[in-house]
Amino acid sequence: MATDDRDLVIAWKAGDRKAGTTLIRRHLPSLHRFFLNKVSATSDVEELVQRTFTACAEGIERFRDEASFRTWMFAIARNVLGLWIRARQRVEVDLDKQSIVDLGAGPSTVLAAVREQKLLLQALRRIPLQSQILLELYYWETLSAAKLGEVFDAPEGTMRGRIRAAKLDLRAALDTLANSGEDIQSTAAGLEDWARSLRALAG
């Protein structure tokens, strides 16, 4: 039986539902992480995960065999999240400027173990949603600028600039949240390590 993503996708497109189930199970933890810090309830996470996999199944014939299933899935998840948010807002929504907190979301379902992690999770939810998505995929799913370009449909160079800008946004949000200079310094100094350590919590 096929084991890598590419072969599983080809088999799925050919009608092998078992191959599709294998792909879905393989990437389920990543998809949970994608939605977990962007909604208020676990039930919403489950709904959005289901919507994403349904969209993947319905669109599998349009998947390009040379592409990455993982980045294709995240691109669909990003679209699903945007549609879900806009359906719940009564005003115009700009996800390049508005954050999850701006949009009225309640506390995250992710539980932080230490203060630095809690600050980072809160800060991520206070930067523009597209920047939050970008950084969480960068830190938690270790997507390169090139792979992020596939998710956001943008050139690699553009994504490198967006990563730098998103990191600045995150540091500014941390600066606002932290209660003392010492907290800011310890959190910001270890930003890369703390951000990556959240992957296990989100998993």
Predicted TM-score (pTM) of the model is 0.86
What string of pLDDT tens digits covers the 203 residues of the chain?
557 888 898 888 888 889 888 988 899 999 998 998 888 888 999 999 999 999 998 998 888 877 789 999 999 999 999 999 988 887 788 999 999 988 887 666 665 656 777 788 888 999 999 999 999 999 989 999 999 999 999 999 999 999 999 999 998 888 888 765 556 666 655 667 767 776 666 65
pLDDT value, residue 182:
52
Q: Please classify residue 106 by burial: count the beta carbons closer than 10 Å to its beta carbon, then call 0-12 exposed, 13-18 middle and 19+ buried.
A: exposed
Distance, in Å, from the CA atom of 108 to the CA atom of 100, rounded to the nearest integer, reads 10
Torsion sign over Cα 171, 174, 176, 181: negative
Find the largest Cα–Cα distance for the chain: 58
* DSSP single-letter state for residue 141: S
Which runs of consecutive H residues, i.e. helices, occur in the chain?
Answer: 5-13, 17-36, 42-59, 69-88, 115-124, 129-140, 145-152, 156-177, 181-189, 191-202
Query: Of 182, 199, 177, nearest to 122 (Cα)?
Result: 177
137 Cβ contact list (under 8 Å, min separation 6)? 34, 74, 143, 148, 151
pLDDT value, residue 112:
61
